[in-house]
Amino acid sequence: MKKLSHLDQLEAEAIYIIREVAAECENPVMLYSIGKDSSVMLHLAMKAFYPEKPPFPFMHINTTWKFKEMIDFRDRKAKELGIEMIEHSNQEGIDQGINPFDHGASYTDIMKTQALKQGLDKYGFDAAFGGGRRDEEKSRAKERVFSFRNKNHAWDPKNQKPEMWKLYNTKINKGESMRVFPLSNWTEKDIWQYIRQEEIDIVPLYFAKERPIVERDGNIVMVDDDRLKLEPGEEIQYKKVRFRTLGCYPLTGGVESEADTLDDIIEETLGAVSSERTSRVIDQEAAGSMERRKREGYF
Partner 1 sequence: MKGLLKFITCGSVDDGKSTLIGHMLYDAKLLFADQEKALELDSKVGSRGGEIDYSLLLDGLMAEREQGITIDVAYRYFTTDNRSFIVADTPGHEEYTRNMAVGASFADLAVILVDATKGVISQTKRHARICALMGIKHIVLAVNKMDLVGYDQKRFEEIKHDFQQMTYGFNLESIQVIPVSATEGDNITKKSDHTLWYDGKALLPYLEDIEVIDDAAQQEFVMPVQRVSRPNHTFRGFQGQIEAGKIKEGDEIISLPSQERAKVKSILVTDYEVSEAGAGQPVTVQLDREVDVSRGCVLTTSENVQVTDMFSASILWMDDAELVEGRNYLVKVGTKMLPGTVMSIKHKIDINTGKEVLADKIFKNELVECDISLSENMVFDTFENNEALGGLILIDRVTNMTSACGVIEHALRRSTNVVWQETDISREVRAQQKGQKPLTLWFTGLSGSGKSTLANEVEKRLVATGHHTMLLDGDNVRHGLNKNLGFKEQDRVENIRRIAEVGKLMNDAGLVAITSFISPYESDRQNAREIIGDSYVEIFVSTPLEVCEQRDVKGLYKKARLGEIPNFTGISSPYEQPENPEIEIDTSEYSLEEATDYVVKEIMKFLD
- The residue ranges that bind partner 1 (CB under 8 A) are 1, 3-4, 6, 8-9, 11-12, 15-16, 19-20, 22-23, 46-53, 134-135, 137-139, 141-142, 144, 157-158, 160-167, 169, 171-173, 184-185, 187, 189, 272-275, 278, 287-288, 291-292
Dist CA 298 CA 293 (whole Å):
5
Residue 157's closest CA among 137, 130, 129, 182? 137
Which residue, 167 or 229, has its beta carbon nearer to partner 1? Answer: 167
On whether the CB atoms of residues 155 and 296 are closer than 8 A, the answer is: no
Dist CA 103 CA 113 (whole Å):
14
Which residue, 47 or 103, has its beta carbon nearer to partner 1? Answer: 47
CB of residue 43 vs partner 1: minimum separation in angstroms?
Answer: 10
CB of residue 115 vs partner 1: minimum separation in angstroms?
Answer: 25
CA atoms within 13 A on the CB side of 112: 23
Dist CA 197 CA 11 (whole Å):
12
Q: How far is CA 138 from the centre of its chain?
A: 16
Residue 41's closest CA among 25, 29, 26, 24? 29
Which residue, 163 or 225, has its beta carbon nearer to partner 1? Answer: 163
CB of residue 161 vs partner 1: minimum separation in angstroms?
Answer: 5
Which residue, 233 or 274, has its beta carbon nearer to partner 1? Answer: 274
- Beta carbons within 8 Å of 242's beta carbon, 6+ residues apart: 205, 206, 207, 208, 209, 254, 255, 257, 259, 260, 265
CB of residue 100 vs partner 1: minimum separation in angstroms?
Answer: 23
Which residue, 98 or 178, has its beta carbon nearer to partner 1? Answer: 178
Which residue, 61 or 178, has its beta carbon nearer to partner 1? Answer: 178
CB of residue 11 vs partner 1: minimum separation in angstroms?
Answer: 7
CB of residue 113 vs partner 1: minimum separation in angstroms?
Answer: 18
